[in-house]
Structure 1
């Protein structure tokens, strides 16, 4: 069993308007996933320095961070990065550029977890429906041209107001779209902005929204999580198709 999570940390600024990276890391320890996709990990202006430092992540959690930042002080690519539990092997990483009116991107990492291989995409889609659709299709197109097909999880803040249609229809054509539950606004969650999407060779055995008292204060989003099981027979078919 593999556990994953996604969390828009809003640059570590909580609902009390305090920037508290230690609180974010405590929340991640509560969630206790094997792999975590983070959004809005870097500050937006100036040096765009990371609100979480790799050193602090290592000191306070069992995670290591993949640095996708192109600036010396940044950790993410357009704010996106991926954390993985120490002991998991990173096989490959890359950044994905997405079409947008405003800067948007996604990050990709292939992992070996015990006997399994898993591809993880972390992303944060735009605020405009037309561009969200284009961004979703761009992610799928960039996955299609990779040399090796792997069981894949796509997760992040989709900014999709509706529970179906829009960019979700692009993913749903060939993927499972999981709805862990309302994750925004963290003080009174009513919107399903944060989603987990998998290829058909990944079985989701459980999913949900992490609603601890600490999480309600850490960001305007709540973390979402899923437990996964790879269907080896289906994965083999996908690799040979």
Structure 2
């Protein structure tokens, strides 16, 4: 098992053989696209709804999804005694034989922090920890200010660059900070586009702390598609008896959505969401 490189602790310094398809048109189409399984999972620092810390259980829930890329939220890296001051990001990567990038929102003096991460089967070519407006949970009287914790990585999938982002939006009932974060997210993602408006393949995952119809999320839908298309509500929170859909995989028009599911995993206080995508390849 290769050691999983922690490619971005940013702000801390950051075959199965395919079945033959005989129809020529289908075969040609298959060569133009490549499948990609992407998940988003708020892992609650590796603890379930009862606060039982067990990162091996978290890893098993992720392994069961067989995802190529997983955006993680609420990730501890030598952060506190609740996670035994362990590097949960690297441990998960090692158990799953995946690459990992970590982007802290908050940091400690021992190269640790709490934030978001991305696991990938594809090597990470670059990573960046972007600032968003936040209200700190570590200060007694916080005021909105730019803080890190919006992670972007670039991977190549069969030669096509894919920009993958993961975020954890503000949880408060007042949507003002969340609305600011969404506007900033749209701007950051637009920065990856050319002056002529040609954008790379983009995937945004995250715990948005709002439902798909929330007004503050509406700017996202001008350039991204919510992958959830099933008739059922797709609730992800709370994990035991979910009644809200606040966890998302969203994609740019470089992707076609084949299927999206909410696995019945109970390793966290959230359930993950898993999207099966088809990426149009560059030639």
Q: TM-score, normalised by structure 2?
A: 0.72
Structure 2 residue 153 is the aligned partner of structure 1 residue 115:
no
Unaligned runs of 5+ in 2: 1-34, 137-146
Could you tell me how far 1:53 is from its partner in structure 2?
4.6
- The aligned length equals 224
C-alpha deviations, 1:214-236, integer Å up to 9, x for none? Answer: x22x111011110111235xx89
Q: Which one of 98, 102, 107 corresponds to residue 67 of structure 1? A: 102
Q: Which one of 110, 134, 144 corresponds to residue 180 of structure 2? A: 134
Structure 2 residue 214 is the aligned partner of structure 1 residue 165:
yes
Q: Which one of 199, 209, 231 corresponds to residue 252 of structure 2? A: 199
Q: Secondary structure at the match of 2:220?
A: helix
Residues 147 and 177 (structure 1 numbering): CA distance in 2 closer, same or farther, change over 3 Å? closer
Q: Which one of 62, 76, 80 corresponds to residue 28 of structure 1? A: 62
CA distance in 1, matches of 2:98, 2:256: 24
Aligned position for 2:189: 143
**Matches for 1:77-92 after TM superposition, within 5 Å:** 79-85=115-121, 88-92=122-126
- 8 Å CA contact 2:192–2:200 kept in 1: the answer is no
Moved more, 125-134 or 183-192: 125-134
* CA RMSD in angstroms, aligned pairs only: 2.5
Q: Secondary structure at the match of 2:217?
A: helix
Could you tell me how far 1:9 is from its partner in structure 2?
0.6
Q: TM-score, normalised by structure 1?
A: 0.83
Structure 2 residue 169 is the aligned partner of structure 1 residue 125:
yes
- 8 Å CA contact 1:3–1:228 kept in 2: the answer is yes
Residues 65 and 190 (structure 1 numbering): CA distance in 2 closer, same or farther, change over 3 Å? same
Q: Secondary structure at the match of 1:80?
A: strand
CA distance in 2, matches of 1:190, 1:163: 13
CA distance in 1, matches of 2:55, 2:217: 31
Unaligned runs of 5+ in 1: 237-241
- 8 Å CA contact 1:159–1:193 kept in 2: the answer is yes
Residues 219 and 91 (structure 1 numbering): CA distance in 2 closer, same or farther, change over 3 Å? same
Residues 159 and 44 (structure 1 numbering): CA distance in 2 closer, same or farther, change over 3 Å? farther
C-alpha deviations, 1:20-44, integer Å up to 9, x for none? Answer: 1111011111111000000001179
Task: Work out which of the two has the higher radius of gyration on C-alpha atoms and give 1 or 2.
Answer: 2
CA distance in 2, matches of 1:61, 1:46: 23
